[in-house]
Amino acid sequence: MEISGNTAFYAGLSTIQTGQNRVDQAAGQIASTVIERSQSSQSSESQVDRLRSVDRSQEADLASNVVEMSQGKFQVELGAKVAKASDEMLGTLIDTYA
């Protein structure tokens, strides 16, 4: 009997990687938003009035990026649980010491 790669284990690892990518992307977008805000805070008073409408949309983007980070965190945690459960099941289904 030939055993190829454990598909559930690799699915868990893939989920972990996808979650990490989601967190990295959201964190990068949050960081760029903070940099843009600090640059706009050095603007003149007339520009500040015009930028206030932009700030509202950036706040919505910031909130959605925080949600994306949370989803990525949960995705990594669940992927780790799948990989761990798969690894534990392989040892119980096959007696490697026999």
Residue 20 domain-assigned (yes or no): yes
Kindly report the pTM of this predicted structure. 0.67
46: containing domain: 8-81
Classify burial at 96, counting beta carbons within 10 Å of its beta carbon; exposed 0-12, middle 13-18, buried 19 or more. Answer: exposed
Classify burial at 25, counting beta carbons within 10 Å of its beta carbon; exposed 0-12, middle 13-18, buried 19 or more. Answer: middle
Residue 2 domain-assigned (yes or no): no
Please provide the average confidence, as pLDDT, over all residues in the chain. 77
Residue 97 domain-assigned (yes or no): no
The answer to whether 59 and 41 have CB atoms below 8 angstroms apart is: no
The answer to whether 86 and 12 have CB atoms below 8 angstroms apart is: yes
Q: Give the total number of structural domains in the chain.
A: 1
Average pLDDT in the 26-35 region?
A: 83
Residue 2 predicted with pLDDT over 50: no
pLDDT, one tens digit per residue, over 65-80 is 999 999 999 999 999 9
- Least Cα distance to 29 among 37, 19, 40, 17 occurs for 37
Highest mean pLDDT among 2-6, 25-29, 57-61, 73-77: 73-77
